[in-house]
Structure 1
């Protein structure tokens, strides 16, 4: 699945009149956009919660577009194109990390005032976020079970689960450029591989591979921001609801802390011990 497949449909629907409203309103579908915030309680903080999570979901889509664009560029040996997409993705990640500022100071009393109306709803159920995790190589087939009632979402996630991760395509590029690196996709969480670490060691110590060093650093920029996101998420939840179980049945703080402690692209971090 490519980034292009995820672009919104900007054409007018059959019941829309092209002459109604400003061109800007029609282009970004303002009438639809501003109708999507529907608080279920009288707690003022709920509107902030809804808008922030909706913004995050849109940024997940943008990040998917940038990472799959980078992935396609890597497959085409277009390193410059891949680096440009990863850089744009890094800017998107910065906004995502900063978006926690809108929720981080929510008090337990404010959150508890509308938490009952969430029912079983939880950000843990975001298919857009899970798809990004799979693209990073953080894969788990058991996560597909929660989408059994949503066949289309489950199918898209299954494709991401079985397909190559962004890291797989980066390693494939190394392999094609004379640096042997295992890169076969697996439907499981990426585990640190000594052969992959050896490949990155070669990249960073052989002057002939200076362009690939730029790729390694761009991937580290991405990984660093993933960790910042996870840590910010953890800290925000810890402040707002403490160690209580999460909505939707997740383990809440325990799960978030475990996720924050996991390195993305672990070999790129490990090899720095020897440089």
Structure 2
């Protein structure tokens, strides 16, 4: 056993009345937020995977919002730096599914029934990111209509120029010809697969792909959404029951 004493090198070891690591990060709240509904061993993996994804999306929203403001103020350099960070965040989101892929379909079914109709398709932050980048399908408000605060937040986003709109305006101000701007909210109809994912039991017919499965969500998907910011598809999140992702079943509702 080592006899190393950090206090001998001047390190603080008494944090009574001082800001400590756990205090700053509020780890008591974060580490106390995992509440599996069953005794299935793999449910903890499932919960943490999706909670971590939501944290990364929280940061992505923070960066995208700041990049949008910077472009509106003709400050391209900080906007590009922020968007480069968003691209790395999306890479993290994609790569994280390698861990969830270690859970087999049979292991997932041990706790799936306890999740009810909840699905990653209902992620408010995912929808915010779509709307912020320019994929503005107003029909996608429906899964959030039951929560007034969430619905209001998305309606506010639809009334705000997207990152894509601001990029077009920036280019226009600097004499670069660009295509017409998008409208605040499109009326595009959802695809058949999207509509199907709203129906009860969507998860039960879409178990996670077994380890070594042949399908996978394109690694470039997230990155392309940040760089083009103009996608008009109604594709579900990579972790949604209706997506083609090999990485995961859907997540509990946010």
What is the TM-score of this pair, normalised by structure 1?
Answer: 0.64
Query: Cα distance 1:19–1:143, how it changes in 2: closer, same or farther (>3 A)?
Result: farther
Cα RMSD (Å)? 3.0
Q: Unaligned 5+ residue runs, structure 1?
A: 1-17, 191-218, 249-275
User: What does residue 43 of structure 1 align with?
Assistant: 40
Partners in 2 of 1:126 and 1:28 — Cα distance? 24
User: What does residue 7 of structure 1 align with?
Assistant: none
| Conservation of the 8 A alpha-carbon contact between 1:119 and 1:247 | no
Partners in 1 of 2:185 and 2:169 — Cα distance? 17
Q: Of the two structures, which has the highest relative contact order with CA contacts closer than 8 Å and spacing of 6 or more?
A: 2
User: What does residue 177 of structure 1 align with?
Assistant: 174
What is the TM-score of this pair, normalised by structure 2?
Answer: 0.68
| Conservation of the 8 A alpha-carbon contact between 2:161 and 2:184 | yes
User: What does residue 213 of structure 2 align with?
Assistant: none
User: What does residue 222 of structure 1 align with?
Assistant: 226
Which residues of 2 match residues 88-127 of structure 1 at below 5 A?
A: 88-127=85-124
C-alpha displacement of 1:73: 0.8
| Conservation of the 8 A alpha-carbon contact between 2:239 and 2:251 | no
How many aligned residue pairs are there?
Answer: 196
| Conservation of the 8 A alpha-carbon contact between 1:103 and 1:236 | no
Which residues of 2 match residues 125-140 of structure 1 at below 5 A?
A: 125-140=122-137
C-alpha displacement of 1:70: 0.9
Structure 1, residues 112-159: CA drift from partner, whole Å, max 9, x if none? 111001011111001011110111211222222222331111111111
SS of residue in 2 equivalent to 1:235: coil
Partners in 2 of 1:107 and 1:71 — Cα distance? 40
Which residues of 2 match residues 20-35 of structure 1 at below 5 A?
A: 23-35=20-32
Higher helix share: 1
Partners in 1 of 2:225 and 2:78 — Cα distance? 16
User: What does residue 144 of structure 1 align with?
Assistant: 141
SS of residue in 2 equivalent to 1:164: coil
SS of residue in 1 equivalent to 2:135: coil
